[in-house]
Amino acid sequence: MSRAWCNGEVMTQTPPGGIAATAACELARVTYRQLDYWARRGWVSPSVDTGLGRAGRRLYDPSDVVRLAALGHFGQAGLDVGRLGPALADLDLPLGSDFLVVAEADGAVAVCPAERLRTELAKPRARVFFDATALQERLGPTSRRWVTGAAKSA
């Protein structure tokens, strides 16, 4: 049984170690309806188990949860998640390091290492930043385990 941390509480997941959809929503602070809609659009796909089949449960890894949280954050900031979702789906997230997800007004999305934040802020453009560090801390040991790839075995 694997564990994820949310608001200082330990949450357990179903083997093989993925994060259940309801737990992913809670960690990312989005609704289940948002997760379901974004999953059907292909913007956030369950990387561990797609949940296809009669008794299937969708299981997500920490990078999926970071994508969910980023989409929720950008939506709350008033950005068009319909434009950002496809770009965020293709973005390679460097879990285990301090980074921010940067969304441009034109729908472009990029990863910015935390040490480059001051340089990025000096550029005269309209952008919204999502800091993934706090979420990685809430995911706790789970996110570090996924970086090593140890949990990808089914």
Return the CATH fold of 2-152: Multidrug-efflux Transporter Regulator; Chain: A; Domain 2 (1.10.1660)
pLDDT digits (tens, 9 = 90+) for 70-117: 999 999 988 888 888 998 888 888 888 888 888 887 778 888 888 887
Find all residues with CB under 8 Å of 47, minimum gap 6, and list them.
18, 60, 61, 63, 64
pTM value is 0.71
Domain ranges for the chain: 2-152
Q: What is the pLDDT of residues 15-74, one digit of tens each?
A: 457 888 889 999 999 999 999 899 889 898 888 877 765 556 888 888 899 999 999 999
Q: Where are the beta strands (DSSP E) in 7-148?
A: 9-13, 19-20, 59-60, 99-104, 109-113, 127-131
On the question of pLDDT at 6 being above 80, the answer is: no
CA of 89: how far to CAs of 31, 64, 86, 108, in Å?
18, 9, 5, 12
Cβ pair 66, 135 in contact under 8 A: yes
Can you tell me the distance from the alpha carbon of 82 to that of 55, in angstroms, rounded to the nearest whole number?
Answer: 30
